Amino acid sequence: MATTAATAGTAATPFAFPSTYNFPPFFTPQPNSTTRHSQLQKWSSLIQSWCRHHRTYRLSLVDAVDSPLFHNAALRKRLNLAEARAVVDWMTKKEEEGGGGQRAEWIEGAAAGGNTAPKSVAWIWWRRPEEWADVLVDWIDVTGQRGVVLTVFELVQGEATVSQGRSLITQTGSTENGRADHLAEFHGMDNDAMMKALNVLVKRGKASVFGNEGEEGVKFF
Amino acid sequence: MFFKSLDLTTALRPLLLPDETLLFVQDAVGLYEGKYKIPDYQNGHAYLTSHRVCYVAAEEPRKFSVGIDLKEVDRAEYQAGFFKSSPKITLYPKPQKGKTDKSRSATASPAVSQQSSLLPVHPSSPRPHSVVPQPSASPKPVNATWICPICSFSNPVPSNFDPATATATTHLPPCLACGIKPPFITVLKAAISAAASRDSPLPSTTSLPTEDNAQKHGGHSGSSGLMGSVSCPRCTFVNHPSLIECEMCGAPLTTGGPSIQGDDASRADSPAPFFAQSRIANSEVTDSIKLSFRNGGEKTFHERLKGALIQRKWLLQNAPPVPLPSQAAASPSGPAIATLESPQPSAPRVTAVGIAGLEQRGLETRMNNQLVIGNAFEDLEALMASAKQIVALAETLARESGMTTNGGASAETNAVLSESAAALGMVTTKDMLSSGSENLYLSELSRNLAEYLTDDRKGILQREGGIMSLIDLWAVFNRSRNGVELISPSDFQRAAELWEKLKLPVRLRRFKSGLLVVQRYDWSDEKTVRQLQEWMEELRRVPPDETIPWDWTVFGRAVTAQEAAQRFKWSVGVAAEELGMAEDRGLLCREEGIEGLRFWSNHLVA
């Protein structure tokens, strides 16, 4: 399974970095707690928008530290692995704990590049599983598929999610544009991420998942 | 004998006259006039100098401080303590000539006016008016001013300048405006003419002072004043009655009759011993002053007072140096500085010309220097005596070495050394205090330091950008002491910690890292932050030299502690701390890189 999945369409437009990305102190951990908090927030939103742009659900820090995300070649500044880990660590914490609102989640025991050390790969929740669940429910509602059994593969890779998304854009017009984008967003989603979203729906009683590992079917109520 | 008003330094110590040296300090001293305590003068520091005995109250020192000239003191008697009575030293005035004490009421006001103008008026300090209305017997230059022939600035004649004893070698202070020493004759003339004008009765104002006097005896003074304004005796400018100095020419307005009004107005709120005494004593006044030593120290005080009375330093101002013992033929005579060519060539000297002559001269100079240094280090006493010479010698040596190495540092050294000559007279050493009074030593040292820091002539703090680390100060200060009576670091720190308690105009500040710095008391972090902010704004406007990947119009440029130190004239350690402080406040943020630690205007916090 690929740890990063980027669709051809989104990779075509280059990622627009925020202005702070070119601010050299951005890459140095700040000792002042207020400044540090603000810095972490900026990093968090940068990582989220980076992952969203590249359709990345799992971020392997070992690979990412050499990517433009953590390495600003123009400034010759980078966030090293430990610092990147600190940032993601902060993102995994709840906001009440002074963290980044659980926008990331460590994947325990995940191997990346032969590195089995803990805290090397993380889910980056630019949409939290609960939010993904909402997106799915919305899509089911709009497309009128309540009560229909779908396979997970269909949801993630199926033609329907692409075409539905696109047709919706044309149907609903510009005012619904944002929502239409969301609807198509889970196309090409990481399977495990999709399962997490579906599990949220199961818990809510809005769907049931059945079938074997790898060939799950899902029914929305 | 008179109580005289004192000029106090920034650290609330008496301002010493030229050539005056501090001999002893004792705290917890009370003043008696005759048998009676003088209210408000019961707890203070007694300073014994070579010229005066000064009293400075612990509370409200600017209001309650007086000095007594030793030259008016006939003798001093020591009186041991008995049960609850503290040991005392009684000062008896010299016998009055020609006038009796009964003339008190009639002659009181001329004495008052004369007294108030005895010392140059310190413009910033409210002047204490502590006057015993006794006419002075000895002639004295009063309120004399001499006009500088260079810049025509009106300078006060030093109060210890006595035309009767002064000679051409008398030390004269330079002009206050241009710093050029006046010709002796100018000052002498001014002093004599002033003395003459004072001796003549004041024709137009005789009625006023008595009226004024009556008011005083009534126990209150009219602040409204009989006249609306006061015309300056020198330039005739009509001043506001509450001014004590002429607005135009700076002349004291206390000489003439009308000026007493002006004097009175400022006096309204300060009950001086004059009133107090007239209240307490009324008729019975014994003509002696007692110092009551509640905290010991009276023995040393008495001893040194006796010594000062015998030495009579006020007579010989700028005495020639101690004659050198058994000298070689080449040594110069008189006050010539060692490295200078001796004015009278020694007898066996061969008049050589050319290179040989130059060489011979160099040899002579070297021998001379050797002799001076040799004598100086023979024992400590000799070192103290020849300190001036040694300092002069060191200065010339420093100058010479500065010529060859051409370093800014040597100029600095030179400056410090020359300062030290001036500092010699003013430092508090443990020797000046009775043993066991550790607290007094510390508080005096603390005042000493504050004076040293705020002295505008040296401008120590200004040169360091208004802030200086305590260690630097310790080093500079000890250096200025010429290696004598050095202060231990712990004493130094404890003295510095006393600044706040003593309400001195400097303060000690501890940075987060524990670095101790010295600042002016009115300096605050907000000011530093504002300065840094302005600097950051400036950097955003200046285009950088090379192309940089970030948007300089938004982010500006990074600064290092070195750059900050250079810009604000701080030391690097201080600059690093100040930047850290600004970072703590969220103004700056840091960038660590291969170039080291650099600081940026904080754009991380939106």
**CATH code for position B563:** 1.10.10.10
Instruction: Tell me the CB-side half-sphere exposure of residue B399, using CA atoms within 13 A.
Output: 8
Chain A contact for B512 (CB, 8 A cutoff): no
Q: Which residues contact B194 (CB under 8 A, 6 or more apart)?
A: B141, B142, B143, B144, B145, B157
Q: Is residue B584 part of a domain?
A: yes
Q: Is residue B531 part of a domain?
A: yes
Give the pLDDT of residue B402.
Answer: 53
Domain boundary among B302, B327, B345: B302
Same domain, B590 and B496: no
Give the pLDDT of residue B381.
Answer: 63
* Residue A126 to residue B255: CA distance in whole angstroms: 87
* Lookup: tokens for B389: 């010479």
* Residue B336 to residue B372: CA distance in whole angstroms: 12
CA A145 to chain centre: 25
Residue whose entry in the numeric block shows the structure tokens 């004759």: B185
Q: What is the CA radius of gyration of chain B?
A: 29
C-alpha closest to that of B255 among B379, B388, B116: B116
* Lookup: tokens for B40: 């408000």
Q: Is residue B11 part of a domain?
A: yes
User: Which SS3 state, helix, strand or coil, does residue B382 take?
Assistant: helix
Interchain contact, A19 vs B600, CB within 8 Å: no
Which secondary-structure segment (H or E) carries B75? strand B73-79
Same domain, B197 and B70: yes
Chain A contact for B540 (CB, 8 A cutoff): no
Of the partner residues B591, B592, B605, the one whose CB lies closest to the CB of residue A35: B605
* Residue A132 to residue A173: CA distance in whole angstroms: 23
Interchain contact, B586 vs A35, CB within 8 Å: yes
Whether B419 contacts B481, CB under 8 Å:
no
* Residue B72 to residue B532: CA distance in whole angstroms: 57
Residue whose entry in the numeric block shows the structure tokens 């007294």: B115
Contacts A20 to B, Cβ<8 Å: 603-604
Instruction: Tell me the CB-side half-sphere exposure of residue B361, using CA atoms within 13 A.
Output: 14
What b/e string do you get for B395-408 counting C-beta neighbours within 10 Å, with b at 16 or more? bbebeeebeeeeee
Same domain, B451 and B548: no
Give the pLDDT of residue B111.
Answer: 39
Q: Which residues contact A67 (CB under 8 A, 6 or more apart)?
A: none
Same domain, B460 and B534: no
Same domain, B493 and B549: no
Same domain, B105 and B141: yes
Mutate to test the interface with B, among A17, A28, A39 (most CBs of B within 10 A): A28
B100 exposed, middle or buried (CB, 10 Å; 0-12, 13-18, 19+)? exposed
Domain boundary among B302, B318, B348: B302
Contacts B551 to A, Cβ<8 Å: 19, 22
Which stretches in chain B have pLDDT values below 70? 1, 96-143, 196-228, 254-287, 316-351, 376-388, 391, 394-395, 397-438, 482-483, 606
Q: Is residue B606 part of a domain?
A: no
Give the pLDDT of residue B110.
Answer: 41
Q: For chains A and B, what is the number of CB pairs under 8 angstroms?
A: 61
What is the number of other CB atoms lying within 10 angstroms of the CB of residue B236? 10
* Widest pairwise Cα distance in chain B: 92
Q: Which residues contact B576 (CB under 8 A, 6 or more apart)?
A: B561
Residue whose entry in the numeric block shows the structure tokens 């003013």: B426
* Residue A211 to residue A213: CA distance in whole angstroms: 7
Chain A contact for B554 (CB, 8 A cutoff): yes
Same domain, B48 and B114: yes
CA B168 to chain centre: 25
CA distance A30 to chain B (A): 7
Contacts B590 to A, Cβ<8 Å: 25, 28, 30-31
Interchain contact, B606 vs A28, CB within 8 Å: no
Interchain contact, B591 vs A34, CB within 8 Å: no
Total count of domains within chain B: 3
Chain B contact for A75 (CB, 8 A cutoff): yes
C-alpha closest to that of B576 among B596, B593, B595: B596
Same domain, B434 and B536: no
Of the partner residues A30, A31, A75, the one whose CB lies closest to the CB of residue B604: A30
CA B372 to chain centre: 30
Question: In B445-551, which ranges are E strands?
Answer: 467-469, 506-510, 516-520
Interchain contact, B549 vs A22, CB within 8 Å: yes
Interchain contact, A22 vs B584, CB within 8 Å: no
Which secondary-structure segment (H or E) carries B155? strand B154-156
Chain B contact for A27 (CB, 8 A cutoff): yes
Q: Is B380 left (phi over 0), alpha (psi -120 to 50) or beta?
A: alpha
Give the tens place of pLDDT for each residue, B59-95. Answer: 877 778 888 888 778 888 888 888 778 888 888 877 7
The DSSP result for B535-562, as a single string, is: HHHHHHHSPPSS--SS-HHHH---B-HH
Give the pLDDT of residue B342.
Answer: 44
Give the pLDDT of residue B96.
Answer: 60
Contacts A22 to B, Cβ<8 Å: 549-551, 555
Chain A contact for B544 (CB, 8 A cutoff): no
Q: At what angle do helices B354-376 and B387-405 cross, to 10 degrees?
A: 130
* Residue A60 to residue A53: CA distance in whole angstroms: 16
Q: What is the 3-state secondary structure (H, E, C) of chain A?
A: CCCCCCCHHHHHCCCCCCHHHHCHHHHCCCCCHHHHHHHHHHHHHHHHHHHHHCCCCEEEHHHHCCCCCCEECCCCEECCHHHHHHHHHHHHCCHHHCCCCCCEEECCCCCECCECCCCCEEEECCCCHHHHHHHHHHHHHHHCCCCCEEEHHHHHHCHHHHHHHHHHHHHHCHHHHHHHHHHHHCCCCCHHHHHHHHHHHHHHCCEEEECCCCCCEEEEC
Same domain, B181 and B103: yes
* Residue B502 to residue B518: CA distance in whole angstroms: 15
* Domains assigned to chain A: 8-124 (1.10.10.570), 129-220 (1.10.10.10)
Q: Is residue B512 part of a domain?
A: yes
Chain B contact for A172 (CB, 8 A cutoff): no
Mode of pairing for the β-strands spanning B289-293 and B88-93 = antiparallel
Interchain contact, B554 vs A26, CB within 8 Å: no
Interchain contact, B583 vs A74, CB within 8 Å: no
Q: Is residue B292 part of a domain?
A: yes
Whether B53 contacts B67, CB under 8 Å:
yes
Same domain, B177 and B203: yes
Chain A contact for B489 (CB, 8 A cutoff): no
Chain A contact for B215 (CB, 8 A cutoff): no
Q: Is residue B47 part of a domain?
A: yes
Structural domain containing residue B546: 525-601
Whether B292 contacts B32, CB under 8 Å:
yes
Give the tens place of pLDDT for each residue, A118-170. Answer: 778 888 888 888 888 888 888 888 877 788 888 888 777 766 665 444 444 44
Give the pLDDT of residue B317.
Answer: 56
Chain A contact for B499 (CB, 8 A cutoff): no
The CA-CA-CA angle for residues B13, B17, B19, to 5°, reads 120
Distances from the Cα of A104 to the Cα of A10, A110, A119, angstroms: 22, 15, 11
Interchain contact, A24 vs B593, CB within 8 Å: yes
Interchain contact, B583 vs A31, CB within 8 Å: yes
Which secondary-structure segment (H or E) carries B450? helix B438-454
* Residue B362 to residue B368: CA distance in whole angstroms: 10
Residue whose entry in the numeric block shows the structure tokens 């502590």: B130
Of the partner residues B555, B600, B605, the one whose CB lies closest to the CB of residue A38: B605
Interchain contact, B550 vs A30, CB within 8 Å: no
Residue whose entry in the numeric block shows the structure tokens 């919305």: A138
Domain at B106, CATH number:
2.30.29.30
* Residue B6 to residue B17: CA distance in whole angstroms: 11
Contacts B549 to A, Cβ<8 Å: 22, 72, 74-75
Same domain, B75 and B210: yes
Same domain, B189 and B71: yes
Name the β-bridge partners of B45.
Answer: B56
CA atoms B544, B550, B551, B554: torsion sign: negative
Q: Is residue B81 part of a domain?
A: yes
CA distance B517 to chain A (A): 23
Whether A140 contacts A146, CB under 8 Å:
yes
Q: Is B318 left (phi over 0), alpha (psi -120 to 50) or beta?
A: left
What is the number of other CB atoms lying within 10 angstroms of the CB of residue B3? 26
* Residue B51 to residue A193: CA distance in whole angstroms: 94
What b/e string do you get for A31-43 counting C-beta neighbours within 10 Å, with b at 16 or more? ebeebbbbbbbbb
Q: What is the 3-state secondary structure (H, E, C) of B355-366?
A: HHHHHHHHHHHH
Mutate to test the interface with A, among B589, B590, B598 (most CBs of A within 10 A): B589
Interchain contact, A25 vs B549, CB within 8 Å: no
Interchain contact, A42 vs B604, CB within 8 Å: yes
Interchain contact, A23 vs B550, CB within 8 Å: yes
Give the pLDDT of residue A58.
Answer: 84
Assign A74 a pLDDT band (cuts: 50, 70, 90).
confident
CA distance A74 to chain B (A): 6
Domain boundary among B455, B489, B520: B520
C-alpha closest to that of B605 among A191, A211, A217, A38: A38
Distances from the Cα of B262 to the Cα of A204, B44, B212, B225, angstroms: 92, 29, 12, 7
Q: Is B484 left (phi over 0), alpha (psi -120 to 50) or beta?
A: beta
* Residue B371 to residue B361: CA distance in whole angstroms: 15
Chain A contact for B596 (CB, 8 A cutoff): no
Residue whose entry in the numeric block shows the structure tokens 């704990």: A97
